[in-house]
Each structure stands twice: as structure tokens, then as C-alpha cells.
Amino acid sequence: MSAQGGEEGRGGNGRNEAHDPALEFLSKAFRSYYFRHVESVEIPEDMRRREFGYLNFEGAMVRHLTFPNEGEFKAMMVREAPRSAYCSVAYYDSPGLAMEEKGYRKADLAFDIDSGDLNLPCTEKHDFYICGSCGEPFRIKADKCPRCGSSDVAAVHFACDRCLGAAKEEAVKLVDFLELDFGVGPGQTAVYFSGNRGFHVSVVGSKYETVDQRGRAEMVEYVEGKGFGLKQVGLLPRRTAEELAPKLPLVGERGWRGRVASVVYGVEGLGSQEALARAFVEQPDRIGSLVTKAIEEAGVKLDEGVTIDTHRVFRMGGTLHDKSGLLKKRYASLDGANPLDDAVAFGGEPVRVNVKYSPEFRLLGTSFGPYEKESLELPMYAAVYLAAKGLAVPGRGK
């Protein structure tokens, strides 16, 4: 194993395990999990060409690690029991060296869909801010705590079934783009629950491995629908209905035009090229807004930086997420996927915890909370979930 390049400090909210009961609790829980389930961690293709890294419970990011085989990597996972574990999307000649010396070859495609980017109304019910000094929770974003004035304020994010359902829809759309528009084979695409609030999609072994960052940016813009508008649909320049109709898309047409057609032609009174052309001539603003909305709905909302950055390290499949204690879980199909059940990694043995604050949340079909300054017993998986969000610490007694 090589650790050339040293450590990069990040994460952990500056907390030190030796002085933080919640982190000590999480560290023991994660260590127990990896001791029992390390074989569930996914090993990437051509691991000798990959850079590995992990976030430890002291808040330091250790990078530029290399492993000659699966056994040595899994031994590290059991020994270190990291808070998060990552692997590069890139393949290098010498992955253990500093970035400028690695010798970049190519990179997998990686996509990140986060429900926090979808502007969902449910976030107002379960997301909030909390003061690290006095523990005061509050809903309205502020640089300072409204109670004590401390600037030690952190955002806390939960995920509900609505969040993850919306993120899953985005992932389904993305896979559709990859397979139908980019010709990526089904066997080259892997879809995961990220372990927290969304989904990851990886493309391995495709013809796009050698596409540079600029090309990846263009791919992202395409699936997002940027630059696609009325002109590309065939509605501009404005002409008579007879002139417009033959230029409009057909249902079943490949690419963006077909996607827009499948939405717009489903609107009452707009079921054909001719009807859409006539409506546009008579009500251009209404139809223009309708088409724009169809484009927005058909596009995929992504964290653009993840796909563009060919040197990024990506969370590994089968590992625990540091903000939830849930697994990054792979799905062969998203039909019926229910991450708040499927990705629970810990058992249900009772654990006494002191909860600072928590909105209502659901795991394994059970609803918990809301809680505020309570000492109670929770199943281990729920206790880990709240501790990972910095909201619970181990309690004492019964």
C-alpha cells in the first residue's frame, strides 16, 4: 500500500473522536460492520490502476493509496474502518504518486443525482440548521445562531421517500439517455443509491472513457437539456401552421425531439404536428411555455462537477455513508427500489441515546420522531443514522 502525497484534511465538522462520544460510537459501529461484512465492498475494475482514499474519524482525508490486490484493500478496510471510502474514476500509470505525476490514462463516467438539488417542498419539513455551540435547531438559514449568536452553524439534511422517489426518477431518465442517445450498453451501467440523499450512476468500459473534461461537460449539458429550445423543436422561426407542421417532432423520434413530442402531444388538443403548429401560431406564448416546461421535465438534474472532474475519487459501492450510516447500494433495476429499507446496514438491537433534535424520519418501515432533547432507546440502525448527522450521542441507563 502506498500513501504518497500525504493527507488532505476535510470533513468531520472539525470533531475529534477522542472528545466526541458520537464519533466514538460511530467508529465502533463502522468497525464492527466492516469486520463482519467487508466482502460486500465492491472492488473496481483494474484496481491496480486506481487511486484509493478514505476519510477517517479524526476528520483527515487520506489519498493516493494503491493496492496490488483485493485482499490487501479489504485488510485495510477492516483495520482502518474508515468513515468513508473512495476510489478514483480515473485509471493511472502510477496512481500512488502526486496528481501531476500519476500518468492519467482514461476515466469512467460518473454521475451524481442529489435530491437536495431538486428543489422539493418536502425539504422544508425535514431539513434544518443547528447550532454547534448551544444545540438550538432552526429552519431559516442564518450565519449566526438566533439563540446564542454563535457562528458555528451547520445544515442538517434528511431524506424521505418523496426525496428519494424524485431522485430515482432522475436516475431512470439518465439511464435512458445513456442507453438510447449515447449507445451505452446495459452491462456497462451501474446504478447505486448513494447512501444518503440520491443516486450515483457509473459507466465502466464504454467508448467514452477517453472523453476529456470539455467533452464530459457537453455530455452533461445534453442530458440536462441546456441549449435545447423552440428552434430545435421546429417552432422557430415563426411561420404559418402549414409551414411549421412538417418540421415538428414525432412521437417515437429519437433524441430530444422525441422526448418533447411524447410530453407535448399528450396535452389535450395537441395530439398531432398539425394541431401543435396551429396552436403555436394562435397562442405562441402558451405553447412556448409548454414546450419549455416539457424540456425541463425531460432533462436530468445533475451535480455537474462530479461528471466533469476526471480526477475525482468516488464513494465505493458497498461502503457506509458518513452522513447516514446507510450503504451505497447497487441496484440491478430501480423498479421497486426502496433505499430507506434496502440500504440499512445495522441491526435492530436497542441502544440508548440522547437526541438533541430530530424531525420525523423513516427506516425499515418504521417511523421515528420527532424528538427534541430526549433520552430514549432506538434500534441500532436508527441510532447510527442520527449520530451520523450529529444529532445523537450514546446515553446511559434504561
Question: Does pLDDT of 1 surpass 50?
Answer: no
Catalytic residue, chosen from 20, 108, 114, 322, is 114
pLDDT higher than 50, residue 273: yes
The catalytically annotated residue of 152, 303, 309, 342 is 303
User: What mean pLDDT do residues 206-223 have?
Assistant: 98
**pLDDT (average), residues 269-289:** 96
User: What number of CA atoms fall less than 13 Å from residue 275's CA on the CB side?
Assistant: 11
pLDDT digits (tens, 9 = 90+) for 47-83: 999 999 999 999 999 999 999 999 999 999 999 999 9
> What cell was used for 244?
411549421
Residue 112 annotated as catalytic: yes
**C-alpha cell belonging to residue 217:** 461537460
Has 176 been annotated as catalytic?
no
For residues 130-144, give the mean pLDDT.
91
pLDDT at site 14: 39
Mean pLDDT of all residues belonging to the chain? 94
CB atoms within 10 A of CB 49: 19
Q: Is 114 one of the catalytic residues?
A: yes
Residue 109 to residue 215: CA distance in whole angstroms: 11
Assign residue 29 a region (left: φ > 0; alpha: ψ between -120 and 50; beta: otherwise).
Answer: alpha
> Which cell goes with 101?
505525476
CA 154 to chain centre: 20
Per-residue pLDDT, averaged over 220-235, amounts to 96
Confidence of residue 15 (pLDDT cuts 50, 70, 90): very low
Task: Name the class of domain 2-116+160-221+303-394.
Answer: alpha beta
Could you tell me which residues come within 8 angstroms of residue 107 by beta carbon, excluding any fewer than 6 positions away? 88, 89, 90, 91, 209, 310, 311
pTM of the complete model: 0.93
- CA distances in angstroms from 394 to 33, 59, 323, 391, 397, listed in the order given: 18, 20, 17, 11, 10
